[in-house]
Amino acid sequence: MEKAIIYVVSDSVGETAEFVTKAALSQFMSENDYDLYRIPYVENIEVLRGAVYHANQLGAMIGFTLVNPMFREFLIQEAKNKNVECVDIMGPMLQAMERKFKKRPKQEPGLIHKLDEDYFRRVEAIEFAVRYDDGRDPRGVQQADIVLIGVSRTSKTPLSQYLAHKQLKVANVPIVPEVEPPTSLFEIPSHKCIGLRISPEKLNDIRKERLKSLGLGDQAAYANVDRIASELDYFNKIIHQLGCPVIDVSNKAVEETANIILNMINQPYWDLHDNKANE
């Protein structure tokens, strides 16, 4: 069976059209059964004409969110002429609201994602958290607002993402006895490095469940009590060297730990722009 092909067309980013289209597709097929191509920031009719042409050639359908009424009308008519299935995702809602509120829409693309300073900071922070996750690039340590350190399965990654949505650049570094932490970890202000401590019993339970989810036995070294004790001893040694704050995450949800960190950041001594590397 050939893959279904769907074009998503928008005079903005196209996120709304893609989300709705994927939600509808999930009722018919898995992600492996279709190819979706986004055509964002449409500024002229020729782009629309080209989209319809390719859709016709490939037997594809089109879903679109166009706030420009001229673009909407052209795309609908062009698709009709070429016998291409074309769905206006936003138009009916705009028309209904126009009738209900008795006023014309602003017809400005992308208002829901107004690219203000806060939006840019949030996107940048999220990208930062992904790029410098799990110590994959030690350069992130010196650029981060916060560096989370802890042994495996202390929720470093989800916590990094949660804080990124608060516009904080977060790097995280796993602490493993066989691997020396990056030297940059010892060069940043100690209060910007936050240790995530966990009880050996809790960590043992979490790791056993993790192994089970992977179809592995819970007797692997990863969940071995002696191995866990060794890792936590090494973690405590590193924390002592850094002299950084520590949060016990044994019985805390990610949101709870994040709120503790956000409260710490509000303390007078905290300066997101202070960095020893720049002194």
Query: Among candidates 145, 142, 181, which has minimal Cα distance to 279?
Result: 142
Mark whether 71 and 122 lie in a shared domain: no
Whose structure tokens read 């949800």?
Answer: 253
Mark whether 244 and 264 lie in a shared domain: yes
Mark whether 11 and 53 lie in a shared domain: yes
Annotated ligand binding at 150? The verdict is yes
Out of 74, 90, 113, pick the residue that ends a domain: 113
Range of the domain at 95: 4-113
Query: Among candidates 161, 155, 149, which has minimal Cα distance to 125?
Result: 161
Would you say the C-alpha torsion 231, 236, 239, 241 has a positive or negative sign? negative
Mark whether 100 and 132 lie in a shared domain: no
Out of 113, 131, 166, pick the residue that ends a domain: 113
Annotated ligand binding at 153? The verdict is yes
pLDDT at 67: 85
Distance CA 168, CA 122 (A): 8
pLDDT at 252: 95
Mark whether 177 and 161 lie in a shared domain: yes
Would you say the C-alpha torsion 209, 213, 219, 221 has a positive or negative sign? negative
Mark whether 122 and 74 lie in a shared domain: no
For residue 174, list its beta bridge partners: 150
pLDDT at 278: 31
Answer whether 260's CB lies under 8 Å from 247's CB: yes
Mark whether 102 and 124 lie in a shared domain: no
Distance CA 50, CA 263 (A): 52
Annotated ligand binding at 157? The verdict is yes
pLDDT at 97: 83
How many distinct structural domains can be found in the chain? 2
Mark whether 217 and 133 lie in a shared domain: yes
Whose structure tokens read 């866990």?
Answer: 228
Query: What's the DSSP call for residue 43?
Result: -
Indicate the burial class of 91 (C-beta count within 10 angstroms; 0-12, 13-18, 19 or more). middle
Other Cβ atoms less than 10 A from the Cβ of 272: the count is 12
Annotated ligand binding at 82? The verdict is no
Annotated ligand binding at 246? The verdict is no
Mark whether 86 and 64 lie in a shared domain: yes
Annotated ligand binding at 250? The verdict is no
pLDDT at 269: 61
Mark whether 42 and 54 lie in a shared domain: yes
Mark whether 55 and 35 lie in a shared domain: yes
Annotated ligand binding at 152? The verdict is yes
Per-residue burial over 30-67, b if 16 or more Cβ lie within 10 Å, else e, is: eeeebebbebbebeeeeebeebbebbbeeebbbbbbbb
Q: Read off the pTM.
A: 0.59
Task: Tell me the pLDDT of the chain (279 aa) as tens digits.
Answer: 689 999 999 988 888 889 899 999 999 999 899 999 999 989 899 999 999 999 999 999 999 999 888 999 999 999 999 999 999 998 788 788 888 889 877 766 655 555 566 778 888 999 999 999 999 899 999 999 999 999 999 999 999 999 999 999 999 999 999 999 999 999 999 999 999 999 999 999 999 998 988 888 777 889 999 999 999 999 999 999 999 999 999 999 999 999 999 999 887 666 655 443 333
Mark whether 126 and 11 lie in a shared domain: no
Looking at residue 85, which CATH number applies to its domain? 3.40.50
Out of 113, 136, 157, pick the residue that ends a domain: 113
Annotated ligand binding at 156? The verdict is yes
Would you say the C-alpha torsion 125, 246, 262, 145 has a positive or negative sign? negative
